[in-house]
Amino acid sequence: MPYVLAAVQDMIFATRVREAARSAGVELRTAVTPAALGDALRGGAPALALFDLSDPRCPALDLLRALRADPACAAVPTVGFFSHVEEQVRLDALAAGCGEVLPRSRFVQELPAILQRASAP
């Protein structure tokens, strides 16, 4: 079964992502520390990785760089989301190798479709 990796610390938002993943029939694994990322990746590369780029409690860019540094995960599709007023966060995520960076409101709107793509064979 494909899984989605989520670096989302905010409890309310993590619940929203978890419910959307359940509705899409996708297993969700979370990782908000480098150690947790290593644990999550032991089962193989995810079908998709999601990063909350605005939460200062979650080192999303460090986790994104670590994911990209793993040869098995270099091509994993990634989606980051951020507060629309944090343009530098968007630019930093793109520079770190994030494939798609969306404002939080658009991410919420497109989350079901994003997860459906991850569950496609």
> Could you read off the pLDDT of 10-20 as tens digits, one per residue?
888 899 999 99
Query: pLDDT tens-digit profile of 33-47?
Result: 999 998 989 878 999
What would the pLDDT profile of 75-105 be if each residue is shown by its tens digit?
999 999 999 888 899 999 999 999 999 999 9
What percent of the chain is predicted at pLDDT more than 90?
A: 75
2 or 68, which is more confident: 68
Integer Cα distance of 36 and 40 in angstroms:
6
Does residue 24 surpass a pLDDT of 70? yes
The yes-or-no verdict on residue 121 having pLDDT over 70 is: no
Query: What is the structure's pLDDT at 112?
Result: 95
**Residue 51: closest CA among 84, 21, 90:** 90
pTM (two decimals): 0.93
> Do the beta carbons of residue 104 and residue 81 sit within 8 Å?
yes
3-state secondary structure of 81: strand
Percentages helix, strand, coil for the chain (3-state, rounded to 5) are 50, 20, 30
Tokens of 4: 């989605």
Query: What value does the mean pLDDT take over residues 3-10?
Result: 93
Residue 80, strand partner residues: 51, 101
What is residue 1's predicted lDDT score, i.e. its pLDDT? 63
